[in-house]
């Protein structure tokens, strides 16, 4: 059964991961996104709760 022989498939898997990790990942991390999230600070304060039993 040729499916049980991992020799050709294991090398293909290794080369694929090497290409992904060494070439594609740094290029993907350098990409600029079109919509960057902006950090907004608001002065919103929650009012104190008035509990009826206090």
Note the pLDDT tens digit of each residue in 22-33: 888 888 788 777
Q: Mean pLDDT, the chain, as a whole number? A: 77
Burial of residue 40, with CB atoms counted within 10 A of its CB: 0-12 exposed, 13-18 middle, 19 or more buried: exposed
8-to-15, 18, 51 alpha-carbon distances in Å: 11, 16, 71
Instruction: Calculate mean pLDDT across residues 28-39.
Output: 74
pLDDT at 21: 87
pLDDT at 14: 92
On the question of pLDDT at 54 being above 70, the answer is no
Count of C-beta atoms within a 10 Å radius of residue 49: 6
pLDDT band at 44 (very low <50, low <70, confident <90, very high): low
């Amino acid at each position: 059964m040729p499916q049980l022989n991992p020799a050709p498939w294991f090398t293909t898997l290794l080369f694929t991961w090497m290409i992904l990790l060494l070439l594609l990942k740094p290029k993907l991390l350098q990409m600029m996104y079109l919509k960057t999230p902006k950090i907004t600070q608001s002065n919103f304060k929650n009012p104190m709760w008035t509990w009826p039993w206090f």
